[in-house]
Chain A
């Protein structure tokens, strides 16, 4: 599988740009582990965060192909030690008197939050690195996961280094 890489891609905020970026991965046979996209502080730009596994060679190929796309302004590999990496999880677990307290404990230890409570279901929210999210999911699995969704990785470099947004 190779190493995990996280790359930040600054793109023009125009229709079709996500297709161009994701289509490049499909067409060239590269796999995406997660992809997130959202606007930046400049309305003209969106920032896409992509994580994938591969060797250094694959990473270089991906970077070079991305840089060729007309709508891509900047691509950067985020050093995982020098970056803040976060993912958000929403998970719906069955609410039952038998183990409600166990769930509460898990929520507390993981600094998760219960954001919806009904007699039959709990929705927990959790932010953290992917490994923390994975661990939480494993922990509550025995209680009955009804559904879940996770956002995929977003990431920023630590310190004052930035992608150069053209204002």
Chain B
């Protein structure tokens, strides 16, 4: 029997195991939406307020589960609104299939209404993309999109489908199984043997891992490997949650705003074993080979990441789980008592520095950002410091998925929030997309049914608060913590340190009442300026079945510390500011 292209899309999505799609309808996907209506008991569509929110939601769905997220948008502006979400997924290696409608084939190239070359636009931010001009190729193209998205290093794939392809008829036979990814590549035995030799000879080994450990499901293997070689571990932002943050070997995120102990341990080590990580400039500091004292082993599933940003003395392409299993088996139990003692010292040093910085920050009077001629700027009576906020929220939460937006709050959360299991921390790392949070939270809940804690700032929340409407409709139990400092804090911090305090356009000074805003959307909210208020609000929020906004007053000159200036070495790390 012949069915329409639109129906083929829906049937293929279901065949690929997709239970939820996120999207926003429009003229060139109306046929597809008609079929989604018919199939609504088999596949759920979550309507967002904006296509970007839908893309982040599909991304959050994928990050929270490892499954491929699916987002649908119409042609033209619908498609271009996806671009930031697709790029976000691309930079963080998230499997995503984006489906866009386009004008009928006969109108392509004529600058028709809502026509845009979305394949051209998204070429640099997708693993691959397709335009399907023949309905006979539609089902296999969508299958291939899933295959590419989840093979090897995952990533987004876009499929653009002109309207006439959606209405054209074609025979269709559903496959019994979702497509199987391309076979994994496994690390070369000889290289692993050389790696094992380097590890055996090391006195001060240090493990630096990234998101590849999470997507490669290698958390357990990583912990066993670390025990076997007696090494401490640090990670990139994307690696967070791969191992429990309270694990005795875990020193925390390293890099620009990472923990002192992990950055220092890396600098003092004689061998760094980098696993599923790509040495982003934010996590790596000085990348020059000459500036380092350690040798480097780099293992990654993506061959193109090897020798790309840093020189590795030994690089191996392959699945991380397999490589770790084999490496662990090759090495006898190692002992590095001196190095372990040094790590204890570094941890103690970090604790001292953090406590001094916290005490200094807490003793300081708050600063109100001022705008010339503004007389309506009443100081808040008290303010909360970021770590106190995080501690209170995490104490009140029962194993939620933690989502962040982008900015200072993101770094504080990454440094401080206790995480227990993989995929419990979702954050836009590579692209650093402000406005990621609310959409991702909706998607993560839709995928897991779990409670979500979203940390955001007043700046980032302003970029995504339209999706509060979606969270209300979806009854998303998301506790939204706004670290409200009235400024774009991350940029302000840079302006303070490197731009002579020229606060060019980083002072928001808005009059937004976030509690009333939440209520206007049909959500609940509370404003907090003290720990006691926050404790009560958190209690209320975690008992609430829907989005709950907690507006926390934070000083505009709270800094994210430590700070390793871009390209800087460990000696240049700033842990305290006068």
Indicate with 1 or 0, residue by residue over A1-24, a CB within 8 angstroms of chain B CB atoms: 000000000000000100110010
- Of A20, A64, A65, A68, the residue contacting B123 (CB under 8 A) is A20
Q: Is B308 an interface residue (CB 8 A)?
A: yes
Q: Is A98 an interface residue (CB 8 A)?
A: no
- The contact size tier of chain A is 10 to 19
Main secondary structure of the interface of A (DSSP, over half): helix
- Of B127, B128, B302, B304, the residue contacting A61 (CB under 8 A) is B304
A19 with B120: CB separation less than 8 A: yes
Complex: how many Å from CA A113 to CA B119? 44
Q: Is B124 an interface residue (CB 8 A)?
A: yes
A23 with B304: CB separation less than 8 A: no
Q: Is B148 an interface residue (CB 8 A)?
A: yes
Q: Which of A24-60 contact B (CB under 8 A)?
A: 27, 57, 60
A65 with B304: CB separation less than 8 A: yes
B127 with A70: CB separation less than 8 A: yes
A23 with B123: CB separation less than 8 A: yes
Complex: how many Å from CA A6 to CA B485? 56
B123 with A67: CB separation less than 8 A: no
B302 with A68: CB separation less than 8 A: yes
B308 cross-chain contacts in A, Cβ below 8 A: 61, 64
A60 with B123: CB separation less than 8 A: no
Query: From residue A30, how far is it (CB to closest CB) to chain B in Å?
Result: 12
Indicate with 1 or 0, residue by residue over B99-136, a CB within 8 angstroms of chain A CB atoms: 00000000000000000000110011001100100000
Complex: how many Å from CA A65 to CA B307? 12
Question: Which residue on A lies nearest to B151, using beta carbons?
Answer: A70
A16 cross-chain contacts in B, Cβ below 8 A: 119-120, 123, 131
Question: Which residue on A lies nearest to B302, using beta carbons?
Answer: A68
A69 cross-chain contacts in B, Cβ below 8 A: 128
Among the interface residues B127, B148, B306, B308, which one has the most CB atoms of the partner chain A within 10 A?
B308
Query: From residue A115, how far is it (CB to closest CB) to chain B in Å?
Result: 35
Complex: how many Å from CA A68 to CA B123? 13
Question: Which residue on A lies nearest to B152, using beta carbons?
Answer: A68
Complex: how many Å from CA A69 to CA B148? 11
Q: Is B303 an interface residue (CB 8 A)?
A: yes
Complex: how many Å from CA A66 to CA B304? 9
Q: Which of A106-131 contact B (CB under 8 A)?
A: none
A65 cross-chain contacts in B, Cβ below 8 A: 304
Query: From residue B83, how far is it (CB to closest CB) to chain A in Å?
Result: 15
- Given contacts A57-B307, A65-B304, A68-B302, are A23 and B124 in contact (CB under 8 A)? yes
Query: From residue B279, how far is it (CB to closest CB) to chain A in Å?
Result: 14
Question: Which residue on B lies nearest to A16, using beta carbons?
Answer: B119
A64 with B303: CB separation less than 8 A: yes
Question: Which residue on B lies nearest to A70, using beta carbons?
Answer: B128
A64 with B124: CB separation less than 8 A: no
Complex: how many Å from CA A69 to CA B124? 11
Complex: how many Å from CA A68 to CA B93? 14
- Given contacts A70-B127, A70-B128, are A64 and B120 in contact (CB under 8 A)? no
Indicate with 1 or 0, residue by residue over B223-264, a CB within 8 angstroms of chain A CB atoms: 000000000000000000000000000000000000000000
Complex: how many Å from CA A67 to CA B306? 13
Complex: how many Å from CA A125 to CA B306? 45
Q: Which of B304-355 contact A (CB under 8 A)?
A: 304, 306-308
Complex: how many Å from CA A27 to CA B303? 18
Indicate with 1 or 0, residue by residue over B130-172, a CB within 8 angstroms of chain A CB atoms: 0100000000000000001000000000000000000000000
Q: Which of B46-77 contact A (CB under 8 A)?
A: none
- Of A23, A27, A60, the residue contacting B307 (CB under 8 A) is A60
B131 cross-chain contacts in A, Cβ below 8 A: 16
- Given contacts A60-B307, A64-B304, are A27 and B124 in contact (CB under 8 A)? yes
Indicate with 1 or 0, residue by residue over B478-503, a CB within 8 angstroms of chain A CB atoms: 00000000000000000000000000
Complex: how many Å from CA A71 to CA B127? 11
Indicate with 1 or 0, residue by residue over B500-537, a CB within 8 angstroms of chain A CB atoms: 00000000000000000000000000000000000000
Complex: how many Å from CA A44 to CA B364? 70
Query: From residue A135, how far is it (CB to closest CB) to chain B in Å?
Result: 38
A61 cross-chain contacts in B, Cβ below 8 A: 304, 307-308
A67 with B148: CB separation less than 8 A: no
B119 cross-chain contacts in A, Cβ below 8 A: 16
Question: Which residue on A lies nearest to B124, using beta carbons?
Answer: A27
Complex: how many Å from CA A68 to CA B127? 9
Complex: how many Å from CA A144 to CA B577? 69
Q: A19-B123, A61-B307, A64-B306 are in contact. List 14 more A-B contacts (CB 8 A).
A: A16-B120, A16-B123, A20-B123, A23-B123, A23-B124, A27-B124, A61-B304, A64-B303, A64-B304, A67-B303, A68-B304, A69-B128, A70-B127, A70-B128
Contacts from B to A (Cβ < 8 Å): 119-120, 123-124, 127-128, 131, 148, 302-304, 306-308
Offer 20 A-B interface pairs, CB within 8 angstroms, sorted by A.
A16-B119, A19-B123, A23-B124, A27-B124, A57-B307, A60-B307, A61-B304, A61-B307, A61-B308, A64-B303, A64-B304, A64-B306, A64-B308, A67-B303, A68-B302, A68-B303, A68-B304, A70-B127, A70-B128, A70-B148
**A-B interface, 4 closest residue pairs, ranked by CB to CB distance from nearest:** A64-B304, A70-B128, A27-B124, A64-B303
